[in-house]
């Protein structure tokens, strides 16, 4: 990696790069037998959320941040309020060429700090069985598994298609 990394609030000028990162990461995650389901999920999430990030997260009492290195978006994550005392971590993605260098952990810490500044007592998150690195990160960062389920229905938050989802939380 070259250059310093800055984490800052999302700006409309980041929209194209965040969109491209979202699409690239989800296509990389897609198992061969679920390509069609992933493409449908990508389209739904683009329409309902990614192509309107600022409004989407503002409507949910949260925010969205990007990690920038050398003027380029290499990571992103959002927070949305899910209850008076909890926020949910959403869309934490790291550019494939920037992985294994601690950026995911750094963004997670930033998200936790943001929650504390907002007086939020708990951070919740979920991830799918196909995201081994994310599962390892959340477990090593002190997140407690609260439930798991098989996602049958697609939404802007999950592909559905029978993928197992893991739901975690951490008291802040």
Residue 78, domain CATH: 3.40.630.30
Please state the domain count of the chain.
1
Question: Is 164 a domain residue?
Answer: no
Question: Is 25 a domain residue?
Answer: yes
Q: Are strands 163-171 and 144-151 parallel, antiparallel or unpaired?
A: antiparallel
Question: Is 90 a domain residue?
Answer: yes
Q: Residue 19: its pLDDT value, please? A: 98
d(CA 73, CA 120): 27
Question: Is 43 a domain residue?
Answer: yes
* pLDDT tens digits for range 96-127: 999 888 999 999 999 999 999 999 999 999 98
Q: Which domain holds residue 15?
A: 5-121
Whether pTM exceeds 0.85: yes
Q: Residue 151: its pLDDT value, please? A: 65
Q: Residue 41: its pLDDT value, please? A: 87
Question: Is 169 a domain residue?
Answer: no
Closest CA to 26 of 131, 105, 109: 131
Q: Residue 159: its pLDDT value, please? A: 55
Question: Is 142 a domain residue?
Answer: no
Q: What are phi and psi of 121, to 5 degrees?
A: -90, -15
Question: Is 41 a domain residue?
Answer: yes
Question: Is 163 a domain residue?
Answer: no
Q: Residue 1: its pLDDT value, please? A: 47
| Residue ranges, the chain, pLDDT below 50 | 1, 156
Closest CA to 127 of 101, 152, 91: 91
């Amino acid at each position: 990696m070259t250059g310093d990394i800055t984490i800052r609030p999302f700006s409309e000028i980041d929209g194209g790069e965040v969109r491209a990162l979202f699409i690239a990461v989800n296509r990389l995650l897609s198992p061969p037998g679920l390509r069609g389901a992933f493409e449908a999920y990508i389209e739904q999430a683009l329409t309902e959320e990614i192509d309107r990030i600022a409004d989407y997260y503002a409507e949910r009492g949260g925010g969205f941040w990007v990690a920038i290195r050398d003027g380029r978006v290499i990571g992103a994550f959002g927070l949305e309020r899910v209850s008076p005392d909890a926020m949910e971590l959403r869309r934490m993605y790291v550019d494939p060429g920037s992985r294994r260098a601690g950026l995911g952990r750094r963004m997670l810490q930033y998200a936790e700090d943001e929650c504390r500044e907002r007086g939020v007592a708990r951070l919740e998150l979920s991830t799918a069985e196909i995201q081994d690195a994310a599962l390892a990160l959340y477990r090593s960062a002190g997140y407690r598994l609260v439930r798991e389920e098989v996602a049958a229905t697609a939404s802007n938050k999950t592909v559905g298609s029978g993928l197992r989802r893991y739901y975690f939380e951490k008291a802040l």
